[in-house]
């Protein structure tokens, strides 16, 4: 092949290669284009790598916020708040931008910030500076530990007023209690479970626990579509499910008497240092618990002291009641027809089976009639009654009185107690309160059969509940039927009066001038590892009282375990609670009776009493006089230290208000005072007063303006 031919062949070959390459490029381009188009179609359809992008996008842009339900309230018998929903606050500081473009103010002057926060937080300035200067340079915001959490609204507002750059707050639901110590174990305790939006308040004790479902309510939520910056999309609409707030629990507690009981209990606790105490005042006609307390107690708001006594002793603690059980023993003997008051027996000791049982006075009182057994609190006399009844009859009555089973009171973890009846000895000892373990509520229930003329009442601390939807559940008077005859109940109450009035009775410390009181005292042994404990104070002392005994309105039961400062008799110690509390309860009744008998429109106008305690005497007098009250001042001081009626109590227009000052205690002019006013004077001064005659006071044994003597004795007023 010549040279020209070769050149033509090369050019032809090159042209062919270019054509092949061009076709190949075109094919590859078409393939890539097709793949791209397919991929685009898949993505635009919402799927890639087996993921639904539309669903993923919506999930990322849907924000749901919890709407916290407000926990319901617990209120007293008059509707005054005991526990209610509240908020607490936690403080935090932003010290570096949280994200690119963040325009939030940061803490700039750390020295000033620490100085100001130290005024409101329980942290020193240098400690706050440690928080504000973390070692890690990546830290963008800091909190201040427990010292910076649980802040009240007032503290939060004070800090906010400072307008400190970079200081912010978060809020949490919490519980607010109007009184620090107020039937603490009965009202109960709550705790916060969960964090953030999932945080809920849960009752862990007392009524807070028992009615937790009703009080809790139900959270709601809001859902909305937002962009990457958290702003709601204009094309979307928020979906809201409203929260349902909790309901309300109405208690039977009288706040006036409850607060007074707490004060009396604290005084006795401080003075005599018992290891444990309980006290319950119950309406003897309805079973309503008017006031209830125990020691040790704890702060409702902070929980301080809960570790000393986490149990509700009124329903959870079972103990041997001792001689107060003799109320039921005498009732059973009389009601079953096995009581012969004129039958004589040898006191001191008695043999039952292989065991010798003793009176508290081991030498006894010689041969005495059974009519004295209850008055003297003779164990042997009660054993005689049990033997005369027979064990089966006595066991029948013990069960009728409700021992060995729960009362059903609306408090959690109620203990049913135990009833030992295995042999002749335990059968006999139950007659004087040993070999049987009871709760305070069981004793109140059993004794109500005596105070209520034979018909036993269930103790109750709730009058009603109102659910969030308006449903009302009433907890009215509930009876357990007739346990004993009305005549039996009256006979037993007469015997209880003899315990107070008779020279041989054990309850002389509870005698109250002008008040019809019947009681039964008790001294129960405490079981130890090697039998019962010994020693003068190693007992559970108790007293049960019915006032007025002829037709009881109140049933008061007090127990006191192992007083460490045993400086006077147990009866005298407990009387320091018993007598003042009964005095105040009767005074409130008298005031209510006066209000019920008032007929004029002007006089029946009532309002809640204002607080004047700690104010100057002149300012308090002016304020109350201008409000339409009749003011009487006790003492010569310049400052009011106590008032009756107390702040918050409903008082009639024109009614008398007593002010006790910090000066020498002087007698006011009582001319024209009613019986209820005289009882108020006795209550606020702690002195013994007696109103002779009926009607209104017209004369007094100590002249107006004279010093009220510190010595004992009764100051007499004459009425006409």
Reference 83, options 274, 324, 231, 246; nearest CA is: 246
Interior angle at CA 578, CA 576 and CA 580, nearest 5: 70
Residue 709 token pair: 């003597």
Closest CA to 164 of 97, 227, 108, 81: 108
Tokens of 256: 């006036």
Residues 6+ apart with CB under 8 A from 222: 64, 65, 67, 238, 239, 240, 241
User: Within 10 Å of residue 392's Cβ, how many Cβ atoms?
Assistant: 9
* Nearest one of 499, 554, 210 to 371, comparing CA atoms: 499
- Annotated active-site residue in 73, 293, 323, 347: 323
| 371 carries an active-site annotation | no
H/E element holding 487? helix 486-501
Spatial neighbors of 377 by CB under 8 A, at least 6 apart, are: 323, 326, 360, 499, 506, 520, 521, 523
CA distance 606 to 410: 33
Using a 10 angstrom Cβ sphere, with 0-12 exposed, 13-18 middle and 19 or more buried, the burial of residue 448 is: buried
And the tokens for 272?
């005599």
The answer to whether 475 and 410 are in contact (CB under 8 A) is yes
Lay out the sheet containing 220-225: strands in order across: 62-67, 220-225, 239-241
Question: Do the Cβ atoms of 278 and 311 come closer than 8 Å?
Answer: no
Where residue 510 falls (left for φ over 0; alpha for ψ -120 to 50; beta otherwise) is alpha
Take residue 466 and report the two structure tokens written for it.
């109102």
CB of 662 closer than 8 Å to CB of 685: no
Burial of 576 (0-12, 13-18, 19+ CB in 10 A): middle
SS3 39: helix
Instruction: Report, as residue numbers or ranges, the catalytic residues.
Output: 323
């Amino acid at each position: 092949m010549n040279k020209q031919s070769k050149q033509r062949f090369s050019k032809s070959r090159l042209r062919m290669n270019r054509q092949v390459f061009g076709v190949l490029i075109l094919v590859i381009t078409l393939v890539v284009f097709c793949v791209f188009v397919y991929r685009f179609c898949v993505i635009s359809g919402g799927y890639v790598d087996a993921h639904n992008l539309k669903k993923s996008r919506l999930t990322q842009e849907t924000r749901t916020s919890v709407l916290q339900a407000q926990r319901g309230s617990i209120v007293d018998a008059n509707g005054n708040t005991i526990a209610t929903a509240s908020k607490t606050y936690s403080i935090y500081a932003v010290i570096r931008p949280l994200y690119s473009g963040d325009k939030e103010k940061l803490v700039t002057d750390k020295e000033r910030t620490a100085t100001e926060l130290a005024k409101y937080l329980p942290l020193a300035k240098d400690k706050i500076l440690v928080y504000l200067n973390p070692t890690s340079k990546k830290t963008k915001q800091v909190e201040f530990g427990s010292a910076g959490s649980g802040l009240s609204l007032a503290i939060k507002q004070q800090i906010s007023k400072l307008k400190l750059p970079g200081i912010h707050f978060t809020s949490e639901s919490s519980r607010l209690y109007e009184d620090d110590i107020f039937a603490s174990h009965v009202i109960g305790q709550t705790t916060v479970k969960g964090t953030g939006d999932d945080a809920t308040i849960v009752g862990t004790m007392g009524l807070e626990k028992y009615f937790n479902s009703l009080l809790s309510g139900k959270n709601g939520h809001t859902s909305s579509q937002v962009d990457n910056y958290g702003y709601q999309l204009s094309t979307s609409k928020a979906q809201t499910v409203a929260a349902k707030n909790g309901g309300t629990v109405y208690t039977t507690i009288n706040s006036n008497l409850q607060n007074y009981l707490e004060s009396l209990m604290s005084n006795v606790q401080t003075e005599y240092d018992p290891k444990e105490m309980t006290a319950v005042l119950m309406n003897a006609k309805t079973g309503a618990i008017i006031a209830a307390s125990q020691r040790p107690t704890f702060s409702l708001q902070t929980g301080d002291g809960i570790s000393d006594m986490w149990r509700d002793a009124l329903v959870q603690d079972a103990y041997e009641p001792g001689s107060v059980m003799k109320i039921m023993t005498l009732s059973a003997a009389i009601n079953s027809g096995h009581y012969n008051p004129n039958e004589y027996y040898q006191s001191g000791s008695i043999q039952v089976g292989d065991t010798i049982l003793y009176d508290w006075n081991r030498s006894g009182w010689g041969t005495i009639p059974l009519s004295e057994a209850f008055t003297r609190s003779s164990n042997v006399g009660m054993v005689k009654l049990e033997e005369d009844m027979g064990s089966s009859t006595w066991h029948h009555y013990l069960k009728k009185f409700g021992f060995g089973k729960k009362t059903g009171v609306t408090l959690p973890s109620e203990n049913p107690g135990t009833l030992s009846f295995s042999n002749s000895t335990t059968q006999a000892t139950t007659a004087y309160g040993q070999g049987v373990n009871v709760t305070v509520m069981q004793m109140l229930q059993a004794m109500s059969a005596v105070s209520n003329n034979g018909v036993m009442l269930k103790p109750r601390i709730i009058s009603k509940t109102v659910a969030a939807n308006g449903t009302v559940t009433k907890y009215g008077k509930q009876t357990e039927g007739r346990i004993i005859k009305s005549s039996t109940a009256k006979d037993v109450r007469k015997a209880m009066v003899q315990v107070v009035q008779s020279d041989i009775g054990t309850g002389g410390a509870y005698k109250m001038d002008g008040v019809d009181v019947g009681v039964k005292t008790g001294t129960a042994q405490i079981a130890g590892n090697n039998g019962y404990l010994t020693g003068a104070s190693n007992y559970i002392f108790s007293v049960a009282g019915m006032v007025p005994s002829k037709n009881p309105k109140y049933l008061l039961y007090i127990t006191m375990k192992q007083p460490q400062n045993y400086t006077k008799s147990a009866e005298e110690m407990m009387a320091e609670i018993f007598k003042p509390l009964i005095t105040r309860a009767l005074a409130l009744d008298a005031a209510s009776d006066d209000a019920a008998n008032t007929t004029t429109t002007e006089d029946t106008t009532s309002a809640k009493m204002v607080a004047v305690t700690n104010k100057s005497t002149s300012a308090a007098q002016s304020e109350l006089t201008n409000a339409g009250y009749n003011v009487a001042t006790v003492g010569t001081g310049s400052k009011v230290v106590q008032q009756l009626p107390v702040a918050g109590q409903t008082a009639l227009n024109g009614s008398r208000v007593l002010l006790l000052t910090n000066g020498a205690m002087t007698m006011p002019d009582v001319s024209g005072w009613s019986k209820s006013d005289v009882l108020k004077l006795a209550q606020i001064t702690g002195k013994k007063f007696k109103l002779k005659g009926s009607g209104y006071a017209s004369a007094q044994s100590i002249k107006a303006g004279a010093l009220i003597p510190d010595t004992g004795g009764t100051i007499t007023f004459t009425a006409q």
